[in-house]
Amino acid sequence: MRWLLLPLLLLAACGAQPTPTMLGAQRFEAVRGGHSYVVYQRERKVEIIRLGYARRGEHQQIRATMIDLIQELTGCRLVASTLQGDSGEMRGLVNCPRGG
C-alpha cells in the first residue's frame, strides 16, 4: 500500500501542465460553473484543461463551457473542425484578428 502513496502524491502536485508543443504558451485561467479551467495559446494552437472532478451528467455542459472559454479568453475564433478531446482536455486551432 505504501508504494501507491508516493505516485499519488506526485500526481496530485502536478496541476495543469501543457503538452510539450505548448511550452512557452500564453496561459489563461478561469472558473465557471464551479469548475476551474486553464487555457494555453501559442500562435494558432490552443489547449484547454479542466481541473478537478466532474460528476456524471456534467460533461456535455463542461465541453460547451470549454469551447466558449477558448474564444472568450483568447479573443480568437475557434476552428470547430480542428477541435479534439473531451471534457477533461481539448486541443484545436484558432483564427485571431490581426494585431490580436
**What would the pLDDT profile of 28-48 be if each residue is shown by its tens digit?**
999 999 999 999 999 999 999
Q: Which residues of 6-25 are buried (b: 16+ CB within 10 A; e: fewer)?
A: eeeeeeeeeebebeeebeeb
Residue recorded with cell 500564453? 26
Cα 33 from Cα 85, distance rounded (Å)? 20
**What would the pLDDT profile of 2-37 be if each residue is shown by its tens digit?**
555 545 444 444 566 778 888 889 999 999 999 999
Name the DSSP letter for residue 10. Answer: H
| Ranges of H-type helices in the chain | 2-14, 59-74
